[in-house]
Structure 1
Amino acid sequence: MNWDDMRLFLGLARNGRVAIAAKGLGVDPTTLIRRVKKLEDSLNCKLFELTKKGYVLTTQGSELVRYIEKAEHYFLEAQNELSDERSHLAGTIRVSVSEGFGSWFLAPLLPEFKRLYPGICIELVATSGFLNLNKREADMAILLEKPSKGLLVTQKLTDYSLYLYTHQSLVETRKPQTLQDLSQFNLVSYVPDLVYAPQLKFIEETALAQLSALRSTSINAQYQMLINGAGVGILPTFIAEANEGLVRLLDDDIHIKRTFWLATHKETHSQARFQAFTKWLIEKVTANQSRFMH
């Protein structure tokens, strides 16, 4: 037997009307009936009689409701106990992240984490540069390169894509078809001698280096330049494609892939609050994978 089938059965048993029960359960009526029939087949008995008043439980159906409600009681009891344990987690986690990931992905989601774990304080350090975990300047870090030194527990968080973007107002009459067509544009990019991580030196990987430039150490400043029509620039998809005004150019010629790595100090990695944050973060990144790679 499938627990989800039993959940749907219980919803219909408590309501009797397929359309109303299906809406409350978040499925369509056809699916609800099909899943209840599947449950009947697995139990080799009839659980409902269809009457003018709707679906009415048979004797076997009523007996099954009694057992499922017992299971539901224990499930809710366990859920409450785990929620209580979750609310007791406390302490501070200082997380060092790149400015882009911190501002555009993590910061908007942190209110949800705070609601789940009200006792945990998150200090988000989202700057152009990273704090040093080995010197204990931060508890956790989301890095652009897998650390090779120190007492750290590291794991790959996600790959992410970067493309060349410009504001749609600059290409309304003619969209560039080749790299040579970009000669009329300014290039929005990092300040070369102030780039804090080699993984951000992607201009050298393209034919853009010769363009007249507008530069900033801040990815957020670059984004603001681009949405205001400054020229062309390379941005991660999770930043650029949050704004419908930015359009992607020359996908086949300019497609860069980078990786985010999650690192925690070995001494604190196994502590409950760090485990809770790590699990939550990985779930969020997995659920939003289309924002990073497409």
Structure 2
Amino acid sequence: MNWDDLRLFLVLARNGRVGLAAKGAGVDPTTLIRRVKKLEDALSCTLFELTKKGYVLTSQGTRLVKYIEKAEHHLLQAQQELSGDREHLSGTIRVSVSEGFGTWFLAPLLADFKQRYPAIGIELVATSGFLNLNKREADMAILLEKPTNGQLYTQRLTDYELYLYCHQTLLDTYGTPHDTSELGAFNLVSYVPDLLYAPQLKFIEESALSNLQALRSTSINAQYQMLLHGAGVGILPAFIGRNAPALKRILADEIRIQRTFWLVTHRETREQARFKTFVHWLSEQVQGHKGRFVVSE
């Protein structure tokens, strides 16, 4: 094995699509696949399975990712220390995120980051809306839409899925619907249409639920609480809905929505030590919890 083969394997593991992975790694797709196959031969195991969604890690591949990411982390630390950057791993990073991602995914993990990098402070701005990076309101943001203007650097953080959820008690009372025509007895829990802060939150138009009586909120956390207390049916990201066993996914074949989180930083500051460190840590956390964002069938 050599490190370059491991690096290319890791790029494909993080992207899943050969074209995107090859472009990001600076090689052609044929070379990428050949090098991954070479690594598989060296390890005498299969690292990927080719599916309709792209290259999916096998159990051996998933284990290898964990080992490589540990090595990558230590190499990054060594690079920072040897180059004198270690002394610059301090200061504050203001991160603007959606309320759901910030509350349910990122906030619980920040204790780990602080333990690793005690001199870096994090200001997590998790609201129904985003701060403006072009106006320097934040150092970085995790957005629902890829920005098209400004001196910004954007990378795909992860795709995520959303489903229709309902409390078990309502299903016990009205029965489990088998298609959207059987939802008439349920209220809809959703966003306030004219107060949406991103077009990616227009779920109702995609899901044929617009005729239901509605309870609305600008807050995804408020919607979660309504659903948790039996207020109706509503669309939640899988990484939120999975937290309450009593909330059941329904009509998953009809209502399955995919969105993307984009990590956005300023071009001129993204190479600074504390920002590179946070981005590397965050990417590592997202990859390690991939199953929370995309539901395995």
Q: What SS does structure 2 have at the residue aligned with 1:172?
A: helix
CA distance in 2, matches of 1:259, 1:225: 25
Q: Structure 1 residues 85, 149: CA separation in 2 closer, same or farther (over 3 Å shift)?
A: closer
Q: Structure 1 residues 233, 268: CA separation in 2 closer, same or farther (over 3 Å shift)?
A: same
2:213 is matched with 212
8 Å contact from structure 2 (residues 269, 275) kept in 1: yes
1:267 is matched with 268
1:33 is matched with none
**1:6-39 C-alpha deviation (Å, 9 max, x unpaired):** xxxxxxxxxxxxxxxxxxxxxxxxxxxxxxxxxx
CA distance in 2, matches of 1:133, 1:86: 26
**1:52-107 C-alpha deviation (Å, 9 max, x unpaired):** xxxxxxxxxxxxxxxxxxxxxxx9xx97x959975761011000000000000000
Q: How does 1:140-159 map to 2 (within 5 A)?
A: 140-159=140-159
CA distance in 2, matches of 1:86, 1:97: 27
Query: Larger C-alpha radius of gyration, 1 or 2?
Result: 1
1:99 is matched with 99
2:109 is matched with 109
> Offset at 1:172?
2.0
CA distance in 1, matches of 2:232, 2:124: 31
Superposition TM-score, scaled by structure 1 size: 0.71
Q: RMSD of the TM alignment (CA)? A: 2.1
Superposition TM-score, scaled by structure 2 size: 0.71
CA distance in 2, matches of 1:262, 1:92: 18
1:131 is matched with 131
2:237 is matched with 236
Q: Structure 1 residues 94, 181: CA separation in 2 closer, same or farther (over 3 Å shift)?
A: same
Q: What SS does structure 1 have at the residue aligned with 2:94?
A: strand
8 Å contact from structure 1 (residues 161, 258) kept in 2: yes
Q: What SS does structure 2 have at the residue aligned with 1:171?
A: helix
> Offset at 1:282?
0.2
Q: Which aligned segments of 4 or more residues in structure 1 are displaced greater than 3 angstroms?
A: 81-88
8 Å contact from structure 1 (residues 92, 123) kept in 2: yes
1:224 is matched with 225
1:192 counterpart = 2:204: no
Give percent identity, aligned residues only: 67
Which 5+ residue runs of structure 2 have no aligned equivalent?
3-73
Q: Structure 1 residues 88, 271: CA separation in 2 closer, same or farther (over 3 Å shift)?
A: closer
> Offset at 1:202?
1.0
Which 5+ residue runs of structure 1 have no aligned equivalent?
3-74
Q: How many equivalent pairs are there?
A: 219
